[in-house]
Amino acid sequence: MRRRTFLAGLAGSLALPAIAQEETLDPLAAKVGKGAPVKKGKVTLTLPQLADNGNSVPIRIVVDSPMTEADHVKSIHLFSERNPVSNMANFYLGPRAGKAEIDSRVRLAGSQKVTAVAALSDGTYWYDAAAIVVTLTACLDES
Amino acid sequence: MAARIQIPASVKRGEVVEVRVLIQHPMETGYRRDDVGHLIKRNVITSLSCRYDGVEVFRADLSSGIAANPYVQFYTVAGKSGELEFYWIDDEGTQGSERAPIRVT
């Protein structure tokens, strides 16, 4: 019984920092909202959990939106925690996109958390973040 | 600069079309050094846009955080038969463009 409580306590202490990390939004990503709250949800960011090489990592951003004239995604912003240029890309869409989904390949300088923020036509902002382990980082200095 | 654009051969009116663009470009980050230790000047495609019959349907600001030979996949609704025009520009001011016909049935 004592062993069980010890293990439960250990698991709790290990899990806690991971949860805390998940909840914090990249401060640069939060600025996209220009004061408006950037809430978690609607956006799904897909990254592989592990990349052998940071030079080309497939990334997919899907936003849950009907993409009509009245309700569509205006833009999607990608942020990296550790890249020298943290704002990796901005994509501008409109009702003519039909579907709010973008696929691309990014460079990542090390294991980090990547954040995608979507700006909707109704003035709300949503985000999703994904953590990735990069074994070989994209070369920043001597290659 | 060569680019490859992939769209379905024929689409129905109102259908959501998958558009894939791949541009041949080194996307030089500006952080790498050459053999003698000099920094290699940054040269990345900063802007990429797509027009469908003259109307902009997609635009992207890219940075050094995008992999070499940038690949972007997005969607657009098929209106009428016409042309998709792509324009991009890099740090050296080199402009590139490519067209792809779209056949709507």
pLDDT-derived band at A27 (thresholds 50, 70, 90) equals confident
| B11 contacts in chain A (CB < 8 Å) | none
Q: Where is pLDDT greater, at A14 or B68?
A: B68
A14 to chain B nearest CA, in Å?
Answer: 32
ipTM of predicted assembly, 2 dp? 0.92
Cβ within 8 Å, pair B62-A89: yes
CA–CA distance, A11 with A102 (Å, rounded to integer): 37
Which residues in chain A touch residue B32, judged by CB atoms under 8 angstroms apart? 139-143
Taking the domain A27-136, which CATH number applies?
2.60.40.2470
Taking the CA atoms of A52, A57, A58 and A60 in sequence, report the sign of the dihedral they define: positive
Q: What are the extents of the domains in chain A?
A: 27-136
Residue A140's pLDDT is what?
62
Strand runs labelled E in A16-83? 38-40, 43-46, 50-53, 57-63, 73-80
Question: Distance (Å, rounded) from C-alpha A108 to C-alpha A137?
Answer: 6
Per-residue pLDDT reduced to its tens digit, B55-85: 999 999 999 999 999 999 999 999 889 999 9
Contact B88, B66 (CB under 8 A): no
CB contacts, 8 Å: A91 with chain B: 58-60, 72, 74
Look at domain B3-102 and name its CATH class.
mainly beta
pLDDT in tens, A32-79: 888 889 999 999 999 999 999 999 999 999 999 999 999 999 999 999
Q: Compute the mean pLDDT over every residue in chain B, rounded to the nearest whole number.
A: 93
List, for residues A75-100, the tens digit of each pLDDT value: 999 999 999 999 999 999 999 999 99
CA distance A48 to chain B (A): 15
| Predicted confidence (pLDDT) at residue B11 exceeds the cutoff of 60 | yes
Task: Calculate how close chain B gets to A111, using CA atoms only, in Å.
Answer: 14
Per-residue pLDDT tens for B44-56?
999 999 999 889 9
**β-bridge partners, A80:** A114
